[in-house]
Chain A
Amino acid sequence: MNQEDVRRQITGRAIPVPGNDIDTDRIIPARYLKSVTFEGLEEHVFGDDRRQSPGHPFNQARYRGARVLVVGQNFGCGSSREHAPEALRRWGIRGIVGGSFGEIFFGNCVALGIPCLTVHPEDNGWLLEAVARQPEQEVLLDVEQRRVRCGERTLPAGIPDGPRTLFLTGTWDATRVLLDAGEAIDRAAKGLPYVSGY
């Protein structure tokens, strides 16, 4: 285990992006994917939305430096592009809390060490408003205790057991873990008729 990779809690100021079904095309439009690296993606996070609405939270100075992103339902649905969480990470986001998440997006966030926590719809609405009202306050995402603290309130939060364990043990970077299986991988492959011959 690498201590630096443990993600027990994330604290920091928060930035709210309200709205449901915000897809990864909106988080990072496709034309910014035309690159063989992830460099500079942070500049284009929510690129089109920001241009169309100058009041977009990612345009507002008061949210600069935020580490926690607060979103609505089904955030990150659509395209599998890891460029979306990469752009958010490079912008400074270290944890996300919302109503629910697109599944591939959630998995990509795990692979980048960004915990995504879910809260009850009513708490979700309250949290979005609370961080918009007071952007300077710290928000705590507690992966271990499954809760979110904002001001005086502590909200129960969800994260599935598997990803939670990966964050608490600092093993979310899966490559090494998977390679540890060693020859068991080859044995599993040989056991498949379409690999070994029918």
Chain B
Amino acid sequence: MAETLLEKVWRAHTVRTLPSGQTQLLIGLHLVHEVTSPQAFQMLREAGLKVRFPDRTFATIDHIVPTASQRRPFGDLLAEEMTVHLVRNCREFGIPLFDLDSGRQGIVHVIGPELGLTQPGMTIACGDSHTSTHGALGALAFGIGTSQVRDVLASQCLALSKPRIRQIRVEGGLARGVYAKDVILAIINRLGVKGGVGYAYEYAGSAVEAMSMEERLTICNMSVEAGARLGYVNPDATTFAYLKGRPFAPPGEVFDRAVAWWRGMATDPGAPFDDVARLDAQAIQPMVTWGINPGQSVGVGERLPHPSQAPEPDRPAWEEALAFMAFDPGRPVAGIPIDVAFIGSCTNARLSDLRAAAEVVRGRKVARAVRALVVPGSQAVAAAAEREGLHEIFLEAGFEWRKAGCSLCLGMNEDKLQGREVCASSSNRNFKGRQGSPTGRTLLMSPAMVAAAAVTGSVADVRELLR
């Protein structure tokens, strides 16, 4: 019978069916970072347990690292303490850590694929909701809480119920100036921020097949913003070419045998889905969020909605969002002035993202009164960008060029919005308070759109700057 990747990977990792009816699922790769793990290690210690498969567990440090200078000890003593704990926990339990001096440190969802740790057909867990990112390579990857981090450390397993599956077919070509970020924002706008609860999303269709691995990572990253705990793209030639030669990818001829297995894990033609949704790629324009959840967005050529246009149950949420943002309903989204421009995060801080932004920035200057920063997703991305001279383009325009980390995506380090500042951001969440100021305002968009906003001083249609 024709099966989906979800079915095949789930079965391959099933240890047993639990008395509760849930599946005990083996986790092939466990990624750890400093914020959601210290309590888990402590619980392990208190229970006298060891890490069951330390060689299937990898750690990095990303959320709290300063990005101006990464010299230890950090000025922020709490951040320093968390780092000390992570280093100590990794040493005590025998877990490899991509520390700041490794050249491999970066945002956990950037380095997993980049190092070739993330592979097709795997199950991947991490104490971080954007673990869905890794599904871009054809893995089942999902975020877990700290108690589950403890469970995976102790047993390499989780107790889970299999999700239903919705295929999202995006067909056709994307217009110039329209990127993967716009596609996923359009999907979330259409299906809603809780439309994916209980589902895994399989992204397919000619537009997705034509995407590079980095674009697919952007799409899968925001599955969780659509309510879906996991999202994936079937592994194909693009996936295999991306993995070849990466540090943790299978070497030499083993690689060819791996490809054969990976291919076999992809969804079979004619496999059944619980639901299918379709989007026309050509109809998607650059997207901008205007509210406080990632589903509240419009095309850059459109106007902000009136709450009266909202479907009944969403009306209070739209009113709350517009009040918080202090934007007039009905005004064009283009032209909204910004204070900060942030290019970074596990959604959009890979090399292709920085290239797309640099293409817009080249030969232009950051608008006066705009604070603009580029925070590469990993040390490797930073190094590759510097080899191409991208950092010079940004610096010349007036951007700050930072070290790798999560930074302004969630404001756990020094990079925060101040007061009511408006930030054009390439990250994934526009929640109230997300960027470090309780009253700060976030407009999500593609990195090229952030670059356009940075150089014009307000939300602008990047397509006009690319002409």
Query: When the two chains form their complex, are residues A74 and B154 in contact, meaning their CB atoms are under 8 A apart?
Result: no
Kindly list chain B residues whose C-beta atoms are within 8 Å of the C-beta of A48: 432-433, 438
Would B144 and A104 count as touching, CB distance under 8 A?
A: yes
The residue that A111 contacts in the complex, of B22, B148, B431, with Cβ under 8 A, is B148
Q: Which of B36-44, B368-376, B389-397 contacts A (4 or more CB under 8 A)?
A: B36-44
Q: Contact check: which of A74, A103, A174 meets B193 at CB < 8 Å?
A: A74
The segment from A3-11, A133-141, A185-193 found at the interface with B is: A185-193
* Contacting pair A29 B15 (CB below 8 A): no
Mask, B244-279, CB within 8 Å of A = 1, is 000000100010011001000000000000000000
Does B53 lie within 8 Å of A104, measured CB to CB? no
If A77-B194, A78-B129, A104-B144 touch, whether A198 touches B431 (CB-CB below 8 Å) is: no
Q: How far is the CA of A112 from the CA of B227 in the complex (A)?
A: 22
Q: A73-B313, A181-B24, A197-B254 are in contact. Are A34 and B128 (CB under 8 A)?
A: no
Interface segment out of the listed A54-62, A63-71, A79-87, A144-152: A79-87
Partner of A185, one of B150, B155, B314, B317: B155
* Chain A interface residue number, banded: 35 or more
* Minimum distance in angstroms from A125 CB to a CB of chain B: 10
Q: Are B26 and A34 interface neighbours, CB within 8 A?
A: no
Flag whether B151 is at the interface (Cβ < 8 A). yes
- Cβ of A79: which chain B residues have Cβ within 8 Å of it? 128-129, 410, 429
5 pairs, A vs B, C-beta closer than 8 Å:
A178-B154, A178-B159, A181-B157, A185-B15, A189-B26
Q: A174-B147, A189-B156 are in contact. List 15 more A-B contacts (CB 8 A).
A: A19-B317, A20-B314, A25-B429, A25-B433, A26-B432, A48-B433, A74-B193, A80-B143, A82-B127, A100-B194, A102-B194, A108-B148, A160-B161, A188-B15, A191-B12
**Interface of B toward A, CB cutoff 8 Å:** 12-16, 18-22, 24, 26, 28, 35-36, 38-39, 42, 47, 49, 52-53, 56, 64, 76, 78-79, 81-82, 85, 119, 121-122, 127-129, 131, 142-148, 150-151, 154-159, 161, 193-194, 197-198, 224, 227, 229, 250, 254, 257-258, 261, 293, 313-314, 316-317, 320, 410-412, 429, 431-434, 436, 438-439
- Nearest 3 interchain pairs by C-beta: A111-B147, A108-B145, A82-B145
Q: Which residues of A contact B (CB under 8 A)?
A: 19-21, 23, 25-26, 29-31, 33-38, 48-49, 51-52, 73-74, 77-83, 85, 100-104, 107-108, 111-112, 121, 160-163, 165-166, 169, 171, 173-175, 177-179, 181, 184-185, 188-189, 191-195, 197-198
